[in-house]
C-alpha cells in the first residue's frame, strides 16, 4: 500500500493582543489526509483522515511570528510539538498509522450492511 499524506491547516484563531504582542495565533484547526494508491470498486482512491483543533502555548517574545507571517510549516510544527508534549507517543507517525487503519478498514470492512442481491 502506497499512501500519500497531506497536512492542511484549515483555520487559525488569534488574539489581537497578548503580552504586548499583536495578532497572536493561539489555536490551529487542521486535517491530515491519506490517499491510498489502490482504488475502490467505484474507481475512487481509498482515503482516511484525522482532524482536530489544537491550542498552542503562549508565544515566546524572542521567537514570535505574527499572524500575517505564519507559514503552513510553522503551523504543522506547532501542532506536532503540542501533541508530543501531551503524549510522547502521539506524533506524525502515529497519525499516519491511524489513517492507514482507516484505509484498511475501508478495504476490508469488519462489518457490512445491506440485503442480498437476489431480493
The answer to whether residue 1 scores a pLDDT higher than 90 is no
Q: How many CB atoms lie within 10 A of CB 38?
A: 12
pLDDT above 90: percentage of residues in the chain: 87
Q: What is the pLDDT of residue 109?
A: 87
CA distance 95 to 87: 12
Angle at 21 between CA 67 and CA 63, to 5 degrees: 75
| Pair 19, 59: CB distance under 8 Å | yes
Q: Which three-class secondary structure state does DSSP give residue 30?
A: strand
CA distance 79 to 88: 13
The pLDDT of 79-91, averaged and rounded, is: 92
The pTM assigned to this predicted structure is 0.87
What's phi and psi for 84, nearest 5 deg? -65, -35
Q: What is the pLDDT of residue 112?
A: 85
Q: Which three-class secondary structure state does DSSP give residue 24?
A: strand
Amino acid at each position: 500500500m502506497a499512501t500519500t499524506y497531506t497536512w492542511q491547516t484549515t483555520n487559525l484563531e488569534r488574539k489581537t493582543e497578548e503580552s504586548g504582542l499583536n495578532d497572536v495565533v493561539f489555536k490551529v484547526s487542521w486535517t491530515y489526509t491519506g490517499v491510498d494508491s489502490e482504488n475502490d470498486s467505484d474507481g475512487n482512491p481509498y482515503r482516511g483522515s484525522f482532524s482536530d483543533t489544537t491550542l498552542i502555548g503562549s508565544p515566546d517574545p524572542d521567537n514570535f511570528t505574527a499572524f500575517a507571517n505564519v507559514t503552513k510549516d510553522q503551523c504543522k510544527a506547532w501542532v506536532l510539538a503540542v501533541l508530543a508534549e501531551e503524549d510522547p507517543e502521539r506524533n506524525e507517525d502515529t497519525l499516519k498509522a491511524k489513517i492507514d487503519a482507516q484505509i484498511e478498514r475501508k478495504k476490508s470492512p469488519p462489518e457490512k450492511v445491506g440485503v442480498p442481491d437476489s431480493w
